[in-house]
Amino acid sequence: MHLEGTILVGPDFEPVEGRVVVADGEIVRVEAESVESDDVILPAFVNAHTHIGDSIAKEAGEGLSLDELVAPPDGLKHRLLRSASHEEKVAAMARTLRYMESTGTGTFLEFREGGVDGVAALRDALAGEGVEFGERAIESVVFGRDDPDVLSVADGYGASGARDADFDAVRSETREAGKLFGIHAGERDADDINPAMDLDPDFLVHMVHAESIHLERVADRGTPVVVCPRSNLVTNVGVPPIRELTERTTVALGTDNVMTDSPSMFREMEFAAKLSDLPAREILRMATRNGAEIAGLNRGVVRKGADADLLVLDGDSDNLAGARDLVRAVVRRAGHADVSRVVIGGEPVVPRDD
Ligand SMILES: [Zn+2]
């Protein structure tokens, strides 16, 4: 299969008119050539931080503080999760997976509550178990918690935060299992940042309250950071120092809890771009390549040999027509209505054939 249009090629998203040739789930060639197409072809998004389990609780808990909302074990989110059945949770997550695909996300890094059962519920949603519209192509990298056995089924361990428990043992186990260890840090205040960094995590999430000493540590160790600025705004904890972080390490974007924010990377990119005023290229990398790098995946970039996870936008939509700077338009302006195709693992998932 091949796609034609203006291709945002490589890690710098250089616009090249031509063709992307795909075979066996991989990009085999990028050909520069004059083509008859207004399409814009870019890597599918990698959403670097989600909690899609709370898809059952969208917009619940208005006015609650961060802890009242999501702190384990008795924050509103955890009470709602406990009171919902497995089937309800799977059905709600499946709807979220389909929405994420339709908004151009090919991969997401999911922090999963509920131990082995929680991971099983996500796998059921991905497999379309008991869901009318069936299996999804979107790929999850699952970080489990709450259970000593969770590493046997998850791709890594996703710790709630250093103040919630002693994570030394599970940190070592995760390393021995050759899996990834991520942890929330600096969301409510700065107190849990150094203890989280002492665990030598593969990545940190949030870092809203990072101070200069923490920024130095991040730079020294090269620890990647996932930022979720819309979530931070909703939970009223401030906004992350995105610019300062990008000067020091790899930064990726995540949409965090479905409960508080729609898992659309278009929305997160626009918000992060306008908040930080970083170059659009940098923001697009945060929404694609950087998350893939954290997860050790060969995607999030259009180049020969990368996984064929691609997003095609209609460059002649009423929203995008006449854009003078294509990358800037994609980052700050594009949305769901501009999506014409989504390809995951070399297979088209939008438009759907069923
Ligand atoms: Zn989180």
Calpha distance 196→182 (Å, rounded):
9
354: pLDDT confidence band, cut at 50, 70 and 90? very low
96 contacts 52 by C-beta, under 8 angstroms: yes
Ligand 1 mean position, distance from CA 169 (Å): 21
Ligand 1 mean position, distance from CA 273 (Å): 21
Per-residue pLDDT at 212 exceeds 90: yes
Determine the pLDDT at residue 50: 98
Q: Are residues 190 and 155 in the same domain?
A: yes
Query: What digits encode the pLDDT tens for the residues 228-254?
Result: 999 999 999 999 999 999 999 999 999
Ligand 1 mean position, distance from CA 292 (Å): 17
354 occurs within a structural domain: no
What value does the mean pLDDT take over residues 184-200?
97
Per-residue pLDDT at 171 exceeds 90: yes
Calpha distance 326→310 (Å, rounded):
16
Ligand 1 mean position, distance from CA 185 (Å): 10
224 occurs within a structural domain: yes
Ligand 1 mean position, distance from CA 234 (Å): 13
Query: What digits encode the pLDDT tens for the residues 67-105?
Result: 999 888 899 988 998 899 999 999 999 999 999 999 999
Write down the residue that tokens 């995760």 correspond to: 174
Determine the pLDDT at residue 73: 87
Range of the domain at 333: 2-44+299-349
Q: Are residues 30 and 146 in the same domain?
A: no
Q: Nearest 5°: phi and psi at 249?
A: -160, 180
Ligand 1 mean position, distance from CA 7 (Å): 33
Ligand 1 mean position, distance from CA 255 (Å): 9
Q: Are residues 154 and 214 in the same domain?
A: yes
Ligand 1 mean position, distance from CA 50 (Å): 6
Query: What digits encode the pLDDT tens for the residues 281-297?
Result: 999 999 999 999 999 99
What value does the mean pLDDT take over residues 102-114?
96
Q: How many domains does the chain have?
A: 2
Ligand 1 mean position, distance from CA 252 (Å): 13
352: pLDDT confidence band, cut at 50, 70 and 90? low
pTM: 0.97
